[in-house]
Structure 1
Amino acid sequence: MDDANATLMPMWRANLALLTREVGSATRLARMMTFSASYMKLIVSGQRDFSAEFVRGVEAVTGLPEGWMDVKHDSADVPDETREAIASETPRARFRGTAHPVRKAPVLRVEPIFGQGAKREEVTAAPEAHRRLAGTRKIRDLAAQDVRKLERYLSVPPVEPAVLRSRIEDVINYADPDERVRADLEGRLEQIEKHREMLLRHVSRLYALLSRLGDD
């Protein structure tokens, strides 16, 4: 149970007792909430805690406005339609929740020993540093995968450079262009092959550098 629910619990119990003070009201309310009468009586008698979900369910089923249970009331404050709903066992809504209170999440408290406040800060910072490192590795791995794909593409291109050169040389031989055009075509073939090898080396080096990030 969280702190807010614990604070409101006495008020909820008092208002629940107010709603069920008439003989048989607890049993009728139990059936309206689809609980057993014995369990509802344990709740009303204070032998069982209950959740905020249950409180909101009581309000909905009996026609009370939301939040009514959070404020102190006396008998005169109970609306006539709510009294009638309980007396006639006619729910104004259907409750499908639970009465069981939610356990409060455990909180790890770290206190300094012998005045060593710095250690407390280190403990607080450690989870954040771990999350940051994990995030770095995740995006690094995604980037490295893309670099590896590019490396494979360059290593095994859709058209082999030798095949490309052979076909372009065939075109040159058949077209018999002038020397300037021939030199331009052959020069560009050489540049493509040269820069492909250079690009492949850069990509491989990039992958190696990326793979080490986040592992220091």
Structure 2
Amino acid sequence: MEDSGATLMPVWRANLALLTREVGAVTRLARMMTFSESYMKLIVSGRRDFSAEFVRGVEAVTGLPEGWMDEIHGAGDVPRQAREAIAEEAPHARFRGTAHPVRKAPVLRAEPIFGHRPGARLDSGPQPGAAKRTAGTRKIRELAAQDVRKLERHLSMLPVDPGALRARIEDVIAQADPGERARADLVGRLEQIEKHRELLLRHIASLYALLTRPGDDEL
């Protein structure tokens, strides 16, 4: 997977969950992207990573602006045309790509420069002690980023499908007495749970992006 994809993965996954929060949206988006429902559910639940090509495909198929998936969004930020495209299963484009992440390009080893003796110093680079401290800092940040990623996956792989839970609670609300206090309490609790879960995923995505920011070995 490319470094940019690894950094943006939590953001992409949070936005994908946002697009498929309605009941049946995962199935409809899977058909729009010409994927199987089971594979799309693995992607949405966090059990499969995916590529930037897949993300751009989601934008094209649903009519989202290019680059929309690269920024954190809330429930009210989904454009109407994208919601309608998924609800009506009406793709704006045909996706013929793949969801598989792109592997990193091999890192080339530096060869001795002609005219220099092996082992000769070419410049006055960082001292060994500074290099060791930098490597230690980088390792600590990598471990912290891994823990943040595990937390993000745990929140994405819920034991109960959020869409199914919402539908079941809405069934309870529909059967409740319109004047009953518990009805309003159920509606409010459900909204707060969804709101705070989305907010937590946004904070986790931002934290992961900070920890994996390239060229910043020291906080």
Q: Partners in 2 of 1:88 and 1:20 — Cα distance? A: 13
Instruction: Specify the code of the residue in structure 2 equivalent to 1:106.
Output: P
Instruction: Specify the code of the residue in structure 1 equivalent to 2:70.
Output: D
Q: List per-residue Cα deviations over 1:63-111 (Å, max 9, x = no partner).
A: 0000000001001000111111000000011101000011112224569
Q: List per-residue Cα deviations over 1:93-130 (Å, max 9, x = no partner).
A: 1101000011112224569xxxxx944889xxxxxxxx
Matched positions, count: 119
Structure 2 partner of 1:182: none
Q: List per-residue Cα deviations over 1:123-176 (Å, max 9, x = no partner).
A: xxxxxxxxxxxxxxxxxxxxxxxxxxxxxxxxxxxxxxxxxxxxxxxxxxxxxx
Q: Partners in 2 of 1:21 and 1:68 — Cα distance? A: 17
Structure 2 partner of 1:95: 95
Instruction: Specify the code of the residue in structure 1 equivalent to 2:22.
Output: E
Structure 2 partner of 1:37: 37
Structure 2 partner of 1:176: none
Residue pair 1:110, 1:120 contacting (<8 A) in 2 also: no
Instruction: Sort the Cα spacing of 1:107 and 1:89 in 2 relative to 1 into closer, same or farther, 3 A.
Output: same
Q: Partners in 1 of 2:83 and 2:36 — Cα distance? A: 20
Instruction: Sort the Cα spacing of 1:76 and 1:120 in 2 relative to 1 into closer, same or farther, 3 A.
Output: farther
Q: Partners in 2 of 1:65 and 1:42 — Cα distance? A: 25
Structure 2 partner of 1:47: 47
Q: Partners in 1 of 2:14 and 2:37 — Cα distance? A: 19
Matches within 5 A, 1:50-129: 50-109=50-109, 118-119=118-119
Instruction: Specify the code of the residue in structure 1 equivalent to 2:10.
Output: P
User: Secondary structure of the equivalent of 2:50?
Assistant: coil
Instruction: Specify the code of the residue in structure 1 equivalent to 2:7.
Output: T
Matches within 5 A, 1:22-33: 22-33=22-33
Matches within 5 A, 1:161-176: none
Instruction: Sort the Cα spacing of 1:2 and 1:121 in 2 relative to 1 into closer, same or farther, 3 A.
Output: farther
**Larger of the two Rg values belongs to structure:** 1
User: Whose helix proportion is higher, 1 or 2?
Assistant: 1
Moved over 2 A (4+): 108-111, 117-122
Instruction: Specify the code of the residue in structure 2 equivalent to 1:36.
Output: S
| CA drift at 1:18 | 0.2
Q: Partners in 2 of 1:55 and 1:121 — Cα distance? A: 45
Q: Partners in 2 of 1:59 and 1:43 — Cα distance? A: 16
Q: Partners in 1 of 2:37 and 2:89 — Cα distance? A: 13
Q: List per-residue Cα deviations over 1:19-38 (Å, max 9, x = no partner).
A: 00011101100000000000
User: Secondary structure of the equivalent of 1:107?
Assistant: coil
Q: Partners in 1 of 2:43 and 2:9 — Cα distance? A: 11
Residue pair 1:54, 1:99 contacting (<8 A) in 2 also: yes
